[in-house]
Amino acid sequence: MRIVCESCMHRCSLEDGQRGICRARKNENGSIICENYGMATSLALDPIEKKPLRRFRPGSMVLSVGSYGCNLRCPFCQNHEISMVDGERAEKTAGAVYLSPEWLADKALECRAEGNIGVAFTYNEPLVGWEYVRDAGKLVKEAGMENVLVTNGSASLEVLEEILPYIDAMNIDLKGFREEYYKKLGGDLETVKRFISRAAMDCHVELTTLIVPGENDRPEEMEEEAEWIASLGREIPLHVSRFFPQYRMREKRATEVKQVYKLAETAGKYLKYVYTGNC
Share of the chain above pLDDT 90, in %: 91
CB distance 238 to 218 below 8 Å:
no
Residue 53, SS3 per DSSP: coil
The enclosing H or E element of 263 equals helix 257-267
Candidates 166, 249, 177, 254; CA nearest to 219 is 177
Q: How many whole angstroms separate alpha carbon 79 and alpha carbon 84?
A: 8
Q: Does pLDDT of 52 surpass 90?
A: yes
Superfamily of 36-277 according to CATH: Aldolase class I (3.20.20.70)
**Which pLDDT does position 85 carry in this prediction?**
86
Instruction: Find residue 61's DSSP bridge partners.
Output: 47, 116
Q: How many whole angstroms separate alpha carbon 51 and alpha carbon 81?
A: 19
CB distance 170 to 148 below 8 Å:
yes
Measured CA distances, 59 to 48, 125, 205, 209, 218 (Å): 7, 25, 18, 23, 33
- pLDDT mean over 170-174: 98
**Which pLDDT does position 20 carry in this prediction?**
97
- pLDDT mean over 215-236: 98
- pLDDT mean over 140-157: 98
**Which pLDDT does position 90 carry in this prediction?**
74
Q: What is the pTM of this model?
A: 0.96
**Which pLDDT does position 247 carry in this prediction?**
86
Q: How many whole angstroms separate alpha carbon 89 and alpha carbon 92?
A: 5
**pLDDT class of 249 with cuts at 50, 70, 90:** confident
- pLDDT mean over 61-66: 98
The pLDDT tens digits for 118-133 are 999 999 999 999 999 9
**Which pLDDT does position 192 carry in this prediction?**
98
**Which pLDDT does position 1 carry in this prediction?**
82
Half-sphere exposure of 13 (CA within 13 A, CB side): 2
| Average of per-residue pLDDT values in the chain | 96
Burial classification of residue 151, based on how many CB atoms lie within 10 Å of its CB (0-12 exposed, 13-18 middle, 19 or more buried): buried
Domain ranges of the chain: 36-277
Q: Does pLDDT of 93 surpass 90?
A: no
Asked, as a colleague might, if the bond just before 52 is cis with ω within 30 of 0, I would say: yes
The enclosing H or E element of 208 equals strand 204-211
**Which pLDDT does position 170 carry in this prediction?**
98
Candidates 179, 267, 276, 275; CA nearest to 228 is 267
